[in-house]
Amino acid sequence: MRVALLTEGGYPYANGEARVWCDRLVRGLDQHEFEVYALSRSARQDAEGWAELPAQVRRVRTAPLWGAPPVRRGGRRQRRRFAEHFGELAAAIASPGGPEPGTGHQADRFANGLHGLAELALEHGGLPAALRSEDAVRLLERACHLPGAARGAQQARVADLLTVTAALERALRPLSLDWYGPGGLAGADLCHATSGGAAALPGLVAKRFFGTPLLVTEYGVRVREHYLEGCPVGPADAVRPAAVRSAPVRTLLSAFQGRLAAEVYARAALITPGNTHARRWQERCGAAPERLRTVYPGMDAARFAEVGEGGQGVSGGDGGAVSGGDDRTLVWVGRIEPPKDVVALLHAFAEVRRRRPDARLRIIETRRADASTEPAGSAPGEDYVAHCRALAAHLFPDEAADAHTVGDNPVSFERLGEPGVPTLPQAYAAGGVVVLSSVVEGFPVGLVEAMFCGRATVSTDVGAVCEAIGGTGLVVPPRNPRALADACLALLGDPARRARLGAAARARALELFTIEQNVAAFRGIYLELMSHCPVRREEVGEGGAPLPFALPAEAHIPGRWTAGRDGDRFGHWLAAPGASRGPQDHTPTWAAPPPREPLSVGPQGSATEEGA
């Protein structure tokens, strides 16, 4: 099977989202051929190069979602077609609508406009220049002033319209790529988009024009991420902060992302959310429940086996013993940023410290996921880190055991990779209880890692936390330091309960969240999708000659048999993928041999040809 893997800001780049997950998927399904079609988000990501690719990755095609677009203007006829299609799309996103666009007139207008632009780009090109043109700005302005337009859209000024058209050009840039020829997506058996949004656009084009089935996997729903960011443009989009915060910009781009998500979900053959929380978002955006199938992300359990099976501690990388498993210590691991609500954690620990003076808190910071996409010298979130450090110094001044010792702070800020915590398993092994204090969370990867380590956990009820924990840890409301403190104290004072919860957490993680279960799920999904879509290409050798036994005989059947009509003993053919899909069109696109004479059953029950 030839699988086209569609990514955005991830695989095969050395630093990117879902890079590790895609690499494990490709290596686990080595019986298939993979072609990677990757969209990069920044020049720095391109410069850092690719990760090591396995042999089954036969080709990699890349394109940037940053930088100036290619300048190529079309003729008068092309401009008229562009005005018609972009006008439909602009009117759809300027109309009122929330995150659940659903179906209806505006959804149809958006789909017609989007696919019309895709057809125009395939035939003539020049779409990026047209989207940046004055005509596009005027069409968008006209749509914002139509009767019934959204309130935020009606308030759009010229600067807002310029920002929106620039963001739309970047989001729709995949429509103008040269990925759709016979040697590209037209020859793929399956398009697997590893996220929604721009990554799924090539899959939409292949689905519409070549009949290629589309599989969409989302571990973090793109629409949700855009709403949380407050601006539905990617991190590589060079727009001014003031424009990002503009209400008309947020209104128009949020509507675009919502309509795009609904169109992707409507055309996908199957959608695989990573958890029930993501599934609810997809259903709200119009995904049909019967085409949703939850597939939990797979994680490497082997790297945490020594901690999970060995109990309280783990040996250091240099052969020395690393202190860990301190029953008095709470451990927090993650990126220090506002959604993680480290401030609430510090206030909760103040209550823990008041009731248990020997308790300690270790805050271990991991590398930020967006570090590879930030320009050199920038430090996103450093103000929040400084604020947390200052708050810890204020709440917990250095304390000395007696008049002859140096004071020590019960809260320590450390960074993963430092001598105290050289590896991630050792970070989780450093305390008796692992804490998660987030107010916003998708799938809690850090929590599952702690479960693999056999650690008892206290976490806030956000995102897919309850689904991941499943009763093997304590869960409290977010933004409630007192509840967080009570749960931490309950586990710190009960070693037997900690041991029971840790063992149950590890067993649950090994059952649901391993690489093996993830790869096995997608192996079955690939075969299921391809069982409804026969092979549509001829296998050829090095010299271009066909290989007669490269495919099994049943792969050449262009459709499926159904009950016959008017006494037809053998039924009729259904259209093969890629054929015209009219309501009464059952003719395959390839030239079938003429039908032979019907068979009759001989005296001994053997099949013979009449007239033979």
136 pLDDT more than 80: yes
Cα 134 to Cα 83, 121, 140, 408: the distances in Å are: 11, 18, 10, 64
Question: What is the C-alpha to C-alpha distance for residues 167 and 173, in angstroms, rounded to an integer?
Answer: 10
Question: What is the C-alpha to C-alpha distance for residues 272 and 294, in angstroms, rounded to an integer?
Answer: 5
380-397 tens-digit pLDDT: 578 999 999 999 999 998
198 pLDDT more than 70: yes
Higher pLDDT, 380 or 137: 137
Q: For the residues 488-498, what does the mean pLDDT come to?
A: 96
Strands 474-476 and 456-460: parallel
Question: What is the C-alpha to C-alpha distance for residues 293 and 288, in angstroms, rounded to an integer?
Answer: 11
Question: What is the C-alpha to C-alpha distance for residues 375 and 353, in angstroms, rounded to an integer?
Answer: 40
104 pLDDT more than 80: no
39 pLDDT more than 60: yes
- pLDDT of 223 reads 81
pLDDT confidence band for 544 (50 / 70 / 90): low
Token pair listed for 383: 């103000």
Tokens 């807002």, residue?
Answer: 160
Least confident of 7-16, 240-249, 320-329: 320-329
243 pLDDT more than 50: no
Q: Are 64 and 40 in contact (CB under 8 A)?
A: yes
Least confident of 3-7, 72-76, 108-112: 72-76
Q: What is the mean pLDDT of the chain?
A: 82
Question: What is the C-alpha to C-alpha distance for residues 234 and 230, in angstroms, rounded to an integer?
Answer: 11
454 pLDDT more than 50: yes
How many Cα atoms are found within 13 Å in the side-chain-facing hemisphere of 540? 6
pLDDT confidence band for 279 (50 / 70 / 90): very high
372 pLDDT more than 80: no
Q: What CATH topology corresponds to 2-68+75-291? A: Rossmann fold (3.40.50)
260 pLDDT more than 50: yes
Question: What is the C-alpha to C-alpha distance for residues 297 and 399, in angstroms, rounded to an integer?
Answer: 43
Q: Which CATH superfamily is domain 310-513 in?
A: Glycogen Phosphorylase B; (3.40.50.2000)
- pLDDT of 221 reads 84
- pLDDT of 19 reads 85
pLDDT confidence band for 74 (50 / 70 / 90): low
Q: For the residues 147-151, what does the mean pLDDT come to?
A: 91
Q: For the residues 243-271, what does the mean pLDDT come to?
A: 89
Q: Are 285 and 99 in contact (CB under 8 A)?
A: yes
Q: Are 422 and 400 in contact (CB under 8 A)?
A: no
Token pair listed for 112: 């017609």
pLDDT confidence band for 310 (50 / 70 / 90): confident
- pLDDT of 380 reads 53
Phi, psi of 313 (to 5 degrees): -140, 180
- pLDDT of 6 reads 96
Range with top average pLDDT, 143-147, 541-545, 580-584: 143-147
DSSP type of residue 13 = B
Least confident of 244-253, 466-475, 571-580: 571-580
Question: What is the C-alpha to C-alpha distance for residues 57 and 50, in angstroms, rounded to an integer?
Answer: 13
Q: For the residues 292-306, what does the mean pLDDT come to?
A: 93
Q: Indicate the residue type of 575.
A: A
Q: Which value, in Å, is the radius of gyration of the alpha carbons in the chain? A: 28
Quick check: do 2-68+75-291 and 310-513 share a fold?
yes
167-178 tens-digit pLDDT: 999 999 999 999
226 pLDDT more than 90: no
pLDDT confidence band for 241 (50 / 70 / 90): very low
- Contacts of 143 by beta carbon, 8 Å cutoff, 6+ apart: 87, 90, 91, 93, 94, 149, 153
509 pLDDT more than 80: yes
Phi, psi of 350 (to 5 degrees): -60, -40
582 pLDDT more than 70: no
Percentage of residues in the chain having pLDDT higher than 70: 76
Question: What is the C-alpha to C-alpha distance for residues 437 and 389, in angstroms, rounded to an integer?
Answer: 16
- pLDDT of 517 reads 95
DSSP 507-563: HHHHHHSBHHHHHHHHHHHHHHHHHTS---S--B-TTS-B-TTSS-GGGG--S----
Structural domain boundaries in the chain: 2-68+75-291, 310-513
370 pLDDT more than 90: no
